[in-house]
Amino acid sequence: MVAFGKKLKERQIQEWQGYYINYKLMKKKVRQYTQQIQVGSQDRGHVLKDFSRMLDSQIEKIVLFLLEQQGHLASRIAKLGEQQEALQQQQDISKISELREAYREVGRDLLKLLYFVELNAVGLRKILKKFDKRLRHRFTDYYVKTRANHPYSQLQQVFKHVGIGAVVGAISRNLADLEDCQGSYLSIYDQPALPLQDPTIESIKAAVDRLTHSTNFLHFLAQHALILHEELPTPVEEQVDDGRYHFMSLLLNLANTFLYMVNTYIIVPTADDYALSLGAAATVCGVVIGAMAVAQVFSSVYFSAWSNKSYFRPLVFSSIVLFLGNIMYAIAYDLNSISILLMGRLLCGFGSARAVNRRYISDCVPIKIRMQASAGFVSASALGMACGPALAGLFQCHFKVFNITFNQETLPGWAMAVGWLFYLIWLWISFKEPSREEEPSHKPEESNEESLQTDALENGLQQPLLLSLEKKDEAESGDQEFDGSDEASEESHQPATSIASAYRLLTPSVKVQLLIYFMLKYAMEILLSESSVITTYYFRWSTTKVAIFLAFLGLTVLPVNIVVGSYISNMFEDRQILLASEVMVCIGIILSFHLIIPYSVAQYVSSGLIMFVSAEVLEGVNLSLLSRVMSSRLSRGTYNGGLLSTEAGTIARVIADGTITLAGYLGESRLLNITLLPSLAISISSIIATIYTYNTLY
């Protein structure tokens, strides 16, 4: 890969060249320290003191230059303010336009300054990481803890950058005042919900957001989509060409996501009854529900590959296949064929276009709204998960039309077939295929870790810069360092060419996180898929009651993510939330066992709620962390990070549904405990793996 030193040199603003962190010198010093300690010519204490002094000097150089530039910008804004005062009485349109452009020019210079800070922050983080790795010492932890909260901390001056916020505010306010308000007496402070929509200000805000990233609900939710960014944006080229973006096409992708999740879960409350009506055991519902996931294991790969060439054609194919699959699911009742039923569900799984939906957001949605689009993808999935069972609960009727039966078992299939038909028509009329000639070429770039590394530095000043940094460091497979030249093979930037090559890019901590994802999907699938059988056996629940219970669980997804994204993740480290959530999932599984007679509704509902909500918290934190630590090579191509996580979750669902059917041969009385045992074993294994991995790495 192209090393950071070379990238830093290429992206430096030439007139500021002497004020950037001297990464090359510090890298050379780290090599010298390593050699000196190996031969015994220097003791570790002296090396730590010398390197600390060098870092302090480099940071001070950056800070003083930053303050100087802020002063220049403030001076320019003050002079422009004087000109603006003089224009208050005389409405000279040409001079107002000139003044507005002058403010924008100050904004563009501020953007350069923000990018200067961002590059230096990345350089600081990388050299700290290199020092820790080469000298096998947790120096980073010490350095940040001693500098972050000290009253004279230069490190804090860089990343708090209060002065920059003041400059941003001054530019925004004055640009707003220069707008022709047609006699309005309102200012931007009177209308906080209507901020100035100026491209320069939007670019500055985007840069500030990257530099001072703090967890909030929208960021947290968006990261669940595992849509990875592959590089650190340049200060002037951080926007995707809006020509490739089409709002209706994005909406159609989100609608596809929603409908597919509805399609997945709409049969859960009635699958056991459908299996019984066709002469099979109730526990065959596991195979019926899981058939869709089995096909999705394969469809995710070919849809991901297809999206390299087109978005429209795979979506059309998906709609047709799902339409036919649901028709087959519905007519299986009158044909009295469990085979047709399973073939229909398999066909539905072969129509899973989630890889296309995710890829469209990644490739065609501008950076400035990609976070909102990613959050929309996750929200559409959560809403579909809740709506599916809710709709099933409404289909309580029985009638025939032309000898075709419509009842609670078949209506989910007919309803989804109609839904996909209408979607296909909407898709055909409204979708706009983005042009392909404007796609960026895969030239050597620094991994997405750079932009993420910067985030971690700033977060660390409020909490542990490098506790959270350390957990990212070793997990970033794209960050291979070399003792010699900064040059490396361009091949290391190419996307993975197979599942095997993608798997080889995963570090131990990322593999543990995928294991956690597998575990929570397995536990959730066991809970959801066998809910109808379990509640019918123990509590004689009707389909409507099962549907209400499942819909209620689905509706907890967004509120739980709001709480975690807005509050909990700001108070605790991801690692702490991760481990606590795993333990709570394990407790929920233990409480679900039928060890006390009689098995009560209160026990089932409360334990299921604990398990499901904890799994949702765990999924949010786990995917949020995964989105930051996966190799940049997994941010593009067919075999990307989103595909890997999808495959891990889908395989977990397949195994869980298979477990339900196999356990059914032992009798419904044993179904609950038999299916919970693997969940408990995997949960305990994931907790042990998490503790071991983080203790080893950190």
- Reported as a pLDDT band with limits 50, 70 and 90, residue 252 is very high
Q: Is the confidence at residue 239, as pLDDT, over 70?
A: no
147 touches 154 (CB < 8 A): yes
Provide the CB-side half-sphere exposure for 691 (13 A, CA). 9
Query: Tokens 């070379």 label which residue?
Result: 6
Question: Please, are residues 537 and 287 in contact by the beta-carbon 8 Å criterion?
Answer: no
Give me the pLDDT at residue 111, please: 81
* Token representation of residue 2: 């192209």
Residue of 693, 687, 561, 560 lying closest to 629 (CA atoms)? 693
Most confident by average pLDDT, 60-69, 376-385, 525-534: 525-534
- Indicate whether 588 pLDDT > 60: yes
Segment 291-307 mean pLDDT: 88
Q: Which residue has the higher pLDDT, 240 or 161?
A: 161
In this prediction, residue 676 carries a pLDDT of: 93
pLDDT at site 97: 79
Confidence band for 584, pLDDT divided at 50, 70 and 90? very high
Q: What is the pLDDT of residue 255?
A: 94
Query: What is the pLDDT confidence band of residue 221, given thresholds at 50, 70 and 90?
Result: low
Report whether 642 contacts 492 (CB < 8 A): no
Phi and psi angles of residue 401, each rounded to the nearest 5 degrees, phi first: -135, 115
Going by C-alpha positions, the residue among 478, 490, 492 that lies closest to residue 631 is: 478
More confident residue, 200 or 412: 412
User: Could you check whether the bond before residue 598 is cis, i.e. omega within 30 degrees of 0?
Assistant: yes
What is the model's pTM? Answer: 0.68
Q: How confident is the model at residue 160 (pLDDT cuts 50, 70, 90)?
A: low
- Nearest Cα neighbor of 337 from 406, 389, 410 is 410
Considering only 71-85, 285-299, 385-399, 492-506, which range has the smallest mean pLDDT?
Answer: 492-506
- Report the candidate in 188, 539, 521, 233 with the shortest Cα–Cα distance to residue 367: 233
Residue pair 103/178 in contact (Cβ under 8 Å)? The answer is: yes
Q: What is the pLDDT of residue 455?
A: 39
Segment among 2-11, 103-112, 139-148, 385-394 with least mean pLDDT: 2-11
Is the distance from CB of 179 to CB of 84 less than 8 angstroms?
A: no
The DSSP output letter for 405 is E
- For position 569, what pLDDT does the model report? 72
pLDDT of residue 115: 80
Gyration radius of the chain over CA positions = 28
% of the chain surpassing 70 pLDDT: 73
The CA–CA distances, whole Å, from 320 to 267, 313, 420, 428 equal: 19, 11, 8, 12
pLDDT at 677 over 60: yes
Q: Tens digits of per-residue pLDDT, 314-324? A: 999 999 999 99
Position 459 scores a pLDDT of 41
123, pLDDT greater than 70 = yes
Give the pLDDT of residue 491: 43
Average pLDDT, the chain: 77
Give the C-alpha separation, 1 to 481, whole Å: 9
Which comes out higher in pLDDT, residue 128 or 527?
A: 527
Query: pLDDT value at position 418?
Result: 95
> Is the predicted pLDDT of residue 168 greater than 60, yes or no?
yes
Over range 110-139, report the average pLDDT: 79
Residue 463: its pLDDT value, please? 38
Q: How many residues does this entry show for the chain?
A: 698
3-state secondary structure of 665: coil
Q: What's the pLDDT score for residue 444? A: 39
From 60-74, 149-163, 624-638, the region with the lowest mean pLDDT: 149-163
Residue type, 111: L
- Among 470-479, 645-654, 672-681, the least confident range: 470-479
Q: Degrees (nearest 5) of the Cα angle 293, 294, 296? A: 60
Instruction: Give the CA distances from residue 306 to residues 139, 376, 421, 572, in Å, rounded to whole numbers and listed in that order.
Output: 47, 23, 22, 41
- Contact between 427 and 315 under an 8 Å Cβ cutoff? The reply is yes
Q: Higher pLDDT residue, 412 or 304?
A: 412
- Residue 328 above 90 pLDDT? yes
Please state, in angstroms and rounded to a whole number, the distance separating the CA atoms of residues 528 and 237.
46
Can you tell me which residue has the tokens 């060439």?
309
For residue 53, with 0-12 CB atoms within 10 Å meaning exposed, 13-18 middle and 19 or more buried, which class applies?
exposed
Confidence band (pLDDT; 50, 70, 90) for 454?
A: very low
Least confident of 55-64, 185-194, 297-306, 574-583: 185-194
Q: Is the pLDDT of residue 605 over 60?
A: yes
Cβ contacts of 189 within 8 Å, gap of 6 or more: none
Query: Does the pLDDT value for residue 170 go beyond 90?
Result: no
Angle between helices 641-664 and 354-364 (to 10 degrees): 160
Alpha helices in 484-600, H assignment, sequence order: 499-504, 508-529, 531-539, 543-555, 557-563, 569-571, 574-592
Give the Å distances, CA to CA, from 165 to 70, 72, 161, 171.
10, 15, 7, 10
Under the banding of pLDDT at 50, 70 and 90, the label for residue 633 is: low
Q: Compute the distance between CA of residue 420 and CA of residue 409 in angstroms, rounded to an integer.
A: 18
- Per-residue confidence at 474, pLDDT binned at 50, 70, 90? very low
pLDDT of 516 strictly over 50: yes
- Segment 547-571 shows an average pLDDT of 82
Taking the C-alpha atoms of residue 170 and residue 164, their distance in angstroms, rounded to an integer, is 10
Kindly state the tokens that stand for 620: 């949010």
* Residue 339 scores a pLDDT above 60: yes
For residue 218, count CB atoms less than 10 angstroms from its CB and return exposed for 0-12, middle for 13-18, buried for 19 or more.
Answer: middle
> How far is the C-alpha of 308 from the C-alpha of 301, rounded, in Å?
11
Rounded to 5 degrees, what angle do the CA atoms 134, 139, 141 make?
130
pLDDT at 329 over 90: yes
Amino acid at 485: S
Query: 295-299 — which CB contacts under 8 Å span 24+ positions?
Result: 295/345, 295/346, 295/347, 295/348, 295/349, 295/350, 295/352, 296/349, 296/350, 296/352, 296/646, 296/650, 297/647, 297/650, 297/651, 297/654, 298/350, 299/349, 299/350, 299/351, 299/352, 299/353
DSSP 406: E
Contact 635, 228 (CB under 8 A): yes
d(CA 81, CA 633): 48
Residue 77 above 70 pLDDT?
A: yes
Q: Distance (Å, rounded) from C-alpha 556 to C-alpha 300? A: 27
Tell me which amino acid residue 629 is.
Answer: V
261 half-sphere exposure, CB direction, 13 A CA radius: 21
Write down the pLDDT at residue 174: 75
Closest by CA to 215, choosing from 622, 567, 625, is: 567
Burial class from Cβ neighbours inside 10 Å (0-12, 13-18, 19+) for residue 437 reads exposed
Rounded mean pLDDT, 69-95: 78
pLDDT at position 457 is: 38
